[in-house]
Chains A and B, each alone.
Chain A
Amino acid sequence: MPAVQETIDQVRQIDVDQYKYGFETKIEMDKAPKGLNEDIIRLISSKKNEPEWMLEWRLQAYRRWLTMEEPSWARVRYPKIDFNDIHYYAAPKSMSGPKSLDEVDPELLKVYEKLGIPLREQEILAGVEKSKIAVDAVFDSVSVVTTFKEELKKAGVIFMSISEAMREHPDLVRKYLGTVVPQSDNFYATLNSAVFTDGSFVYVPKGVRCPMELSTYFRINEKNTGQFERTLIIADEGAYVSYLEGCTAPQRDENQLHAAVVELIALDDAEIKYSTVQNWYPGDKHGKGGVYNFVTKRGDCRGKNSKISWTQVETGSAITWKYPSCILRGDGSRGEFYSIAVSNGHQQVDSGTKMIHLGKNTSSRIISKGIAAGVSDNTYRGQVSAHRKAENARNFTQCDSLLIGDKCGAHTVPYIEAKNSTAQFEHEATTSKISEDQLFYCLQRGIPEEAAIALIVNGFVKEVIQELPMEFAVEAQKLIGISLEGSVG
């Protein structure tokens, strides 16, 4: 069938070569030697002027990590990673910690300008209302600047790099760090606990609705450098915060490792909305290079009637291994997971969520949209469980996969477990292809093939796009279009 064949051919050429964030910046860097041992960890800790307990915590994690094995259950294949061939610390020489905007190296500011990240404290126009977004910019191993800090401080909101928080708010960090993702959680989380270099810290006090969107922008620039960031967000009783992270990396032939840990804690009646637009370099069209994205993200609905919502748009990375999860501990708490995972070229995605119902009357909702093109593999892996005491747990799961071409794969692997007979779990799954009929219909209306695919795909993911903060919804839509672009005539 020629019409379909042509689409397949076009999509096959999809280019990952069109990655527009692939530029590299020459900046003098202060790097730790390659390799991982206790001395390196001591070096990282001293570079960051950390308190002694933090160093101990890292070393404990490191010793634990030495006894662990890399997980192999995910549906992804990659050559063995040599953990001693990686730099665990890399920071621009000019940086000895986050500074005010005026002090930041202009070269760095240019990088973010090129990436379209607003570091100037400007008001960006979104629809009718002007809204502000505070940004924490993390470059390789360090946070280079955090904007709108003063304004947030007035509202009582703490938003800074986690290194800074460790020095300025050690009690808060110590109280919550590792309480959602323990040091021993899994291979990559344990590695992260030992070597994490920076990330964001957010604390929203009781009853405060954070006055603006918060966001962190991660950039891996250096060669052979791993990025291990750690983010910790706490919404105290009745607080609300919406947070967005974005990420890009230069185009390189070698693979880069990114192993982050994100912990969210929502106390009574608090709500955290966490959105991700992940656009790490996916590798070239032959599958060379790209970021290995091994991430542990978990939210703890610790308080009554608390709510945590994850929204993710995953278009980048050679390999994605992440399962943003919710522990529904507080009675009446609610967890949500909205995901769009686009894989193209040789990308491999194994992603999904876990909803662990512990408290009474807890509810969760999972909407996952996987789009596979090229020779990629796209797996949804999700767990929904109700524990013995989780009376009236409710879950609704919907997993839809869309295939473009016939060389890619979509898989759905749900694990459902209810130990309480009052639990009600629903699971719906569909797999479809962009049909020749749909495509021809669009063409006949004068819509060229690429625009038609973008239109159909955007229709497919609409439910999830609606969950993103408005400013990013448009961006995400464009990104999906670019990720699926064929040969532009």
Chain B
Amino acid sequence: MLEIKNLHARIAEDGTEIIRGLDLTVKAGEVAAIMGPNGSGKSTLSYILSGREDYEVTEGDILYNGESILELDPSERAAKGIFLAFQYPVEIPGVATMQFLKVAMNEQRKYRGEDELTTPEFMRRVKEAAAELKIAPEMLRRPLNVGFSGGEKKRAEILQMALLEPKLCVLDETDSGLDIDALKVVADGVNALRSPDRAVVVITHYQRLLDYIVPDTVHVLYKGQIIKSGDKTLAHELEAKGYADIIEAAA
């Protein structure tokens, strides 16, 4: 589903190279964890996948379902099924969460040439998905992310993910700022979305989240490259020994 080939990318404004020859393949149905110390390029990778223009790809390619997505703008990538759950979800004052969801769902449908959802159908879907994530209807009437607690923000991200039904989900440090109860709710939400035709990339600093969202593969990102890949035991190894040994071994 996702193939990243020898990717090099830099910050557009000052030319600092962040990703330096990254290779990664994630298959449909797979949950891949990307781990790495601070500053290794984890968040940058999520932005590049979703098409943020602050970054320039200088070499290599990103294939999604066999096609390069480098020329697509972020909203086109989203409509094709790439979803990014933000580490720091952004506040949109005055725009009720419900309204935002409706606009997003319908804009994606429009792009794909589908009819807009009817209001009852939209309401039915939102209610169902919100209940799964223990989101109160009252929260849906509040402006998106404005005054939301850390847990509410992350649940709102997963709610959007559930409703937009993406094919490739990228979760950027979704565990940051969550207590253990909130973490469980969020992880359950993600697990419920695991399916044979959907891939999930979980970007995280810590093993903790991976106790709840158990990955099929684990990749260690360091200085813009994947320096080691393995199965879920690699995450435990990292937890026990830290990054230093692996970095040393790769050097």
Interface residues in chain A, defined as those with a beta carbon under 8 Å from any beta carbon in chain B? 1-3, 6, 435-438, 440-449, 451, 455-456, 458-463
Contact = CB atoms under 8 A, between A and B. Distances in A.
Contacts of A459: 92-95, 143
Nearest to A454: B103
Interface stretch (B74-82, B124-132, B208-216): B74-82
B84 to A, nearest CB: 5
A451 B111 CA distance: 13
Interface in B87-115: 89-95, 99-100, 103-104, 107-108, 111
A172 to B, nearest CB: 42
Contacts of B141: none
13 contacts: A3-B54, A6-B53, A438-B91, A443-B73, A444-B51, A444-B86, A445-B107, A445-B164, A446-B78, A447-B103, A448-B107, A460-B93, A462-B94
Nearest to A443: B74
Contact of A441 (B83, B86, B93, B94): B86
Select the residue from A437, A443, A461 with max chain B CB neighbours within 10 A. Answer: A443
Given A455-B95, A459-B95, A460-B94, A2 B164 contact: no
B123 interface: no
B92 A443 contact: no
Given A458-B94, A459-B93, A460-B94, A446 B52 contact: no
Contacts of A3: 52-54
A445 B52 contact: no
A438 B78 contact: no
Contacts of B160: 445
A479 to B, nearest CB: 17
Closest 10 CB pairs of A and B: A459-B94, A446-B78, A459-B95, A446-B108, A443-B74, A445-B104, A441-B90, A462-B94, A3-B53, A2-B53
Nearest to A5: B53
Nearest to B160: A445
A141 B92 CA distance: 45
B117 interface: no
B198 to A, nearest CB: 17
Given A1-B12, A445-B160, A451 B107 contact: yes
Contacts of B75: 443-449
Contact of A444 (B50, B91, B95): B50
A449 B107 CA distance: 11
A463 B103 CA distance: 20
Contact of B164 (A437, A446, A461): A446
Interface residues of B, number: 32
Contacts of B94: 458-463
Contacts of A441: 86, 89-90, 92
Interface in B57-84: 73-75, 78-79, 83-84
B72 to A, nearest CB: 11
Contacts of B89: 441
Given A3-B52, A445-B108, 4 more contacts: A443-B73, A446-B108, A458-B94, A459-B95
Nearest to B94: A459
A192 B108 CA distance: 52
A461 B94 CA distance: 8
Select the residue from B104, B143, B160 with max chain A CB neighbours within 10 A. Answer: B104
B188 to A, nearest CB: 22
Interface of B: 12-13, 50-54, 73-75, 78-79, 83-84, 86, 89-95, 99-100, 103-104, 107-108, 111, 143, 160, 164
A437 B90 contact: yes
A460 B103 CA distance: 16
Contacts of B52: 3, 440
Contacts of A444: 50-51, 74-75, 78, 83-84, 86
A441 B91 CA distance: 9
A171 to B, nearest CB: 48
Contacts of B84: 444
A333 B28 CA distance: 67
Nearest to B82: A444
A447 B103 CA distance: 7
A440 B103 CA distance: 15
A2 B100 contact: no
B50 to A, nearest CB: 5
Nearest to B95: A459
A455 B54 contact: no
Contact of A2 (B54, B99, B103): B54
A446 B112 CA distance: 11
A2 B12 contact: yes
Contacts of A447: 75, 103-104, 107
Contacts of B93: 459-460
Contact of B103 (A6, A443, A449, A455): A455
A371 B94 CA distance: 15
Select the residue from B12, B53, B83, B86 with max chain A CB neighbours within 10 A. Answer: B53
B74 A440 contact: yes
Nearest to B91: A438
A446 B51 CA distance: 12
A444 B84 CA distance: 7
A461 B92 CA distance: 12
A273 B74 CA distance: 44
A462 B144 CA distance: 14
A36 B103 CA distance: 54
A455 B108 CA distance: 15
A188 B99 CA distance: 44
Select the residue from A441, A462, A463 with max chain B CB neighbours within 10 A. Answer: A441
A446 B72 CA distance: 12
Nearest to B12: A2
Contacts of B79: 446
A446 B107 contact: yes
